[in-house]
Chain A
Amino acid sequence: MAGSETPRPETSVGRRTVPLSATVEDARRLFGSDWATVVARAFRWMVFARSFDARMQGLQRQGRIGFYGAATGQEAVNVAVGLLSRPEDWIAPGLREQLVALVRGHPVSSYVDHLFANARDPALGRNMPCHPTARDVHYLSMSSVIGTQITHAVGLGYALRLRRDPGVVFAFFGDGATSANDFHAGLNFAGVWGVPVVFCLTNNQWAISQPVERQSATATLAEKAAAYGIAGRRVDGTDFFAVAEALRAAIGLAREQKLPSLLEFVVYRMTPHSTSDDPTRYQPPEFLAAAAAHDPLERLGDWMRANGLAKAAEVETVRADCDSEIRRAIESAEAVPPPDPESLFRDVRSPLPKERSRSQEVS
């Protein structure tokens, strides 16, 4: 897979996407004899995510959900972590990793309940949409504060190591988060302690309106790992095979040697920052053209068609299947009322012996 580490391959000329360089042999080496099934599953999840993002952005515009932050263009990373992580592993998500929870088995319907902030939302509608909690798949609860989860992941890794448990922690964050204090503290503690953490830095080249060049003066973000004495690597995050290969190595290091590493996945943010954002104010139009050439879904689909998996890569068939699942979840979630007013006062603290409900009694 030579070239898989090239950060930003030049924009495609006359071709729709930049072809993936992996061979069938590479796929077999990565995923075993079952490689075709794994690749088909990955493709299905990418189609699912693409449909889901489009549908939810639409619902937000119609005022049916309050907010949505898409991860369009970042699917290869999320799907690969979802597929390569094990149940005993942990996810400390950033802003755009909800798909990891779904691939790890969190019910789509439950996530949609969360987006509608209804009474069935496992977190009772307390967080804004796209901030799910999914303990069933070891997916931490997220705040909106950029970077804070990075140190949590390190503490969790320390706890796993202390108890001699086998899990690995995946900490997700964006290029903007590399400027935040928790990034520095987290990677520094990780280096000093030695913990089974894979830092997944999804460099989508933007932090709202700020291009990555204005976020950091280093040539790459991966090279920051050297400052903390840990392994760092830059990866084409829209190449499913390159992502999987880099993850395999980092997971091995974490699982066998309890050592952290930093993976910088270079991807393209193909949508606005969120439903509250207008990128025409700051993003040059060429960016979206380059992004299209590095669409992880298209790139994987093209590869499948070229390598004997054309049937599994039939987008329309896969999409129809995903769409009906999404539609059912929406219909069901929309019919559920908002959380019970009394729930406002629950979970502020551990339940009192005699659970009380008035705010004055809570403090």
Chain B
Amino acid sequence: MTELTLVQAVNRGLFEAMRQDPDVLLLGEDIGLNGGVFRATEGLQKEFGAERVIDTPLSECGIVGTAIGMALYGLKPIAEIQFMDFIYPAFDQIVSELAKFRYRSGGQYPCHVVIRTPYGGGIRGGLYHSQSTEAFFCHTAGLKVVVPSTPADAKGLLLTAVHDEDPVIFLEPKRIYRSVSGEVPEGDHRVPFGVARTAREGSDVSILAWGAMVPTSLEAAAKLADEGISAEVIDLRTLVPLDEAAVLASVEKTGRAVIVHEAARNAGFGAELAARIAEKALYSLRAPIARVTGYDTPFPYALEHLYLPTPERIESAAREAVRAG
């Protein structure tokens, strides 16, 4: 075990993956010589050479398109998109190609690419360095969508992603890249997909969150405890595959659900969670399902503190749910 920040844990995970398997290679903008704009790939090109840690021209469509070609030949490319906000030039490649290769070829061409990208607000990044658009990818059959919230999970889920056989969108909560640190197991540490983590146990209300919203929710839960409200915080870890059983079990226990995400509310992944709870645990509910989310506006710069869910907004949603029944 070593105490690491989240971004250091990503870096260790990449080192481990590249050491384990010569077919693993990295490609992206500024990831080699510069070690990545967030330093997630620091030291990797020096260790593994420029053929396996590739500084690419500036084209996300090119990065993901060529990564797909490498994967079709049996390599295990990990592509970095510098910010999630810049993933759209590659959206066609991800949605039309990467997600569908296996299906449309009748299983003849599995296509295993991991796409890592820092996402989310809270870094004064404005419209184009802040977005959380996981819902686009959850909506596309064939992709797995992973969002770690702790350093240990960042490494463990990344190594699982690299050894998976399906395309993985690996979303790194850049706001907590350095603000969160924790013990990270050495070596081949893997965290399975589809298994949520109970970040805090509680009995009155279930707070469902992922990525950077997990520490925010934990902060809210701590304050709620002072008022005598026992909040359970479920860290989903992977949105696809979803640990539906864990979500339902928690909501059935507490009878109240507060869903938290940074993304805009309309058609966000919270809507899917709310629907599943309504479909399968409606009779356990003692209060309406609540969503604490970003607003249906573009992501703002000066007012980002108003846009992002805060512990206070989560607390008041939880209080209201408890008051309701």
Q: Which residues of A contact B (CB under 8 A)?
A: 90, 92, 121-124, 126-127, 131, 133, 135, 140-141, 143, 145, 148, 150-160, 162-163, 181-182, 184-186, 188-189, 192, 346-350, 362-363
Contact = CB atoms under 8 A, between A and B. Distances in A.
Given A156-B70, A157-B69, A160-B73, A188 B62 contact: yes
A347 B106 contact: yes
Contacts of A188: 57, 59, 62
Interface in B96-111: 96-97, 100-110
Contacts, number: 143
Given A143-B104, A155-B69, A349-B165, 7 more contacts: A126-B106, A133-B106, A158-B66, A162-B25, A182-B61, A185-B59, A350-B165
Contact of B65 (A124, A148, A162, A350): A148
Contact of B141 (A162, A185, A348): A348
Given A188-B57, A188-B59, A348-B141, A155 B65 contact: yes
Interface residues of B, number: 46
A124 B106 contact: yes
A133 B105 contact: yes
A189 B79 CA distance: 15
A347 B99 CA distance: 11
Contact of A143 (B61, B100, B166): B100
Contacts of A153: 69
A133 B104 contact: yes
Contacts of B68: 151-152, 155
Contacts of B66: 151-152, 154-155, 158, 186, 189
A158 B75 CA distance: 10
Nearest to B59: A185
B247 to A, nearest CB: 13
A151 B69 contact: yes
B135 interface: no
Of A151, A162, A192, A362, the most chain B CB neighbours within 10 A belong to A151
Contacts of A152: 65-66, 68-69, 72, 97
B96 A349 contact: no
- Lowest 9 CB-CB distances: which A-B pairs, in order? A155-B69, A151-B65, A155-B66, A185-B62, A141-B105, A159-B73, A350-B165, A123-B106, A156-B69
A350 B61 contact: no
Contact of A131 (B62, B75, B77, B104): B104
A123 B65 contact: no
A179 B144 CA distance: 31
Contacts of B89: 181
A192 B27 CA distance: 14
A126 B104 contact: yes
Contacts of B105: 122-123, 133, 135, 141, 347
Nearest to B66: A155
A19 B71 CA distance: 45
Of B69, B70, B71, B72, the most chain A CB neighbours within 10 A belong to B69
